[in-house]
Amino acid sequence: MTLEDEIIGRLNSVREAARRLALAPTERKNAMLTKLAGAIKSSGAEIIAANRHDVEAAERAGNGKAFVERLTLNAQRVAAMARSVEEIATLPDPVGEIIEKWQRPNGLEIAKVRVPLGVIAIVYESRPNVTIDAAALTLKSGNGVVLRGGSEALKTNVCLARLVSDALRAAGLPPDAAFFVANPDREVIQVLKRQPALIDLIIPRGGQALKRALEGSAVPLLPHFDGICHTYVDRAADLAMAQEICFNAKCSRPSVCNAMENLLVHATIAREFLPAMAQRFITEGVELRGCERTCAIVPDARPATEADWDTEYLDLVLAIRIVDSLDEAIEFISRHGSHLADAIVTNDAQAAARFEREVDSATVYVNASTRFTDGFEFGFGAETGISTNRLHARGPMGLRELTTYKYVIHGHGQVRI
Which H or E element spans position 363?
A: strand 363-366
d(CA 283, CA 187): 44
What φ, ψ does residue 169 adopt, rounded to 5°?
A: -65, -45
Per-position DSSP letters for 4-24, written without gaps between them: HHHHHHHHHHHHHHHHHHTT-
| Residue-level pLDDT at 209 | 85
Percent of all residues in the chain with a pLDDT value above 90, rounded to a whole number: 91
The 3-state DSSP class for residue 87 equals helix
Q: How far apart are CA 271 and CA 146, in angstroms?
A: 52
pLDDT digits (tens, 9 = 90+) for 249-290: 999 999 899 999 999 999 999 999 999 999 999 999 999 999
pLDDT exceeds 80 at position 239: yes
Given a contact cutoff of 8 angstroms between Cβ atoms, the answer to whether 147 and 119 are in contact is no
Going from the N-terminus, what domains does the chain have, and what CATH number goes with each? 3-222+397-410 (3.40.605.10), 229-372 (3.40.309.10)
Give φ, ψ of 2 to 5 degrees. Answer: -75, 165
Instruction: Kindly list the distances between the CA atom of residue 414 and the CA atoms of 104, 228, 408, in Å, as whole numbers in the listed order.
Output: 11, 55, 15
Tell me if 323 sits within 8 A of 273, measured CB to CB: no
Contacts of residue 62, Cβ cutoff 8 Å, sequence gap at least 6? none
Q: Mean pLDDT, the chain, as a whole number?
A: 96
Give dist(CA 159, CA 47) in Å, integer: 6
The answer to whether the beta carbons of residues 178 and 164 sit under 8 Å apart is yes
Average of per-residue pLDDT across 211-239: 93
75-90 helix and 44-60 helix, angle to the nearest 10 degrees? 120
Phi-psi region of 381 (alpha: psi -120 to 50; beta: other; left: phi over 0): left
Quick one: which of 91, 63, 208, 76 has its CA closest to 129?
76
pLDDT above 90: residue 125: no
Judge whether residue 66 has pLDDT over 90.
no
Confidence class of residue 67 from pLDDT cuts 50, 70 and 90?
confident
**Residue 146 in contact with residue 15, Cβ under 8 Å?**
no
Phi and psi torsions of 279, nearest 5°:
-65, -40
Question: For residue 301, which phi and psi values (nearest 5 degrees)?
Answer: -80, 140
- pLDDT tens for 83-100 read 999 999 999 999 999 999
Q: Report angle CA 120, 398, 135 to the nearest 5 degrees.
A: 45
Measured distance CA(65)–CA(70) in Å, rounded: 9
- Chain segment 35-48, per-residue pLDDT in tens: 999 999 999 999 99
Is 101's pLDDT higher than 90?
A: yes
Decide if 189 contacts 124 (C-beta within 8 A): no
Secondary structure element (H or E) that encloses residue 319, with its range: strand 317-323
Pairing assessment for the beta strands 386-387 and 395-396 based on DSSP bridges? antiparallel
Query: Residue 118 region, left (φ>0) first, then alpha (ψ -120 to 50), else beta?
Result: left
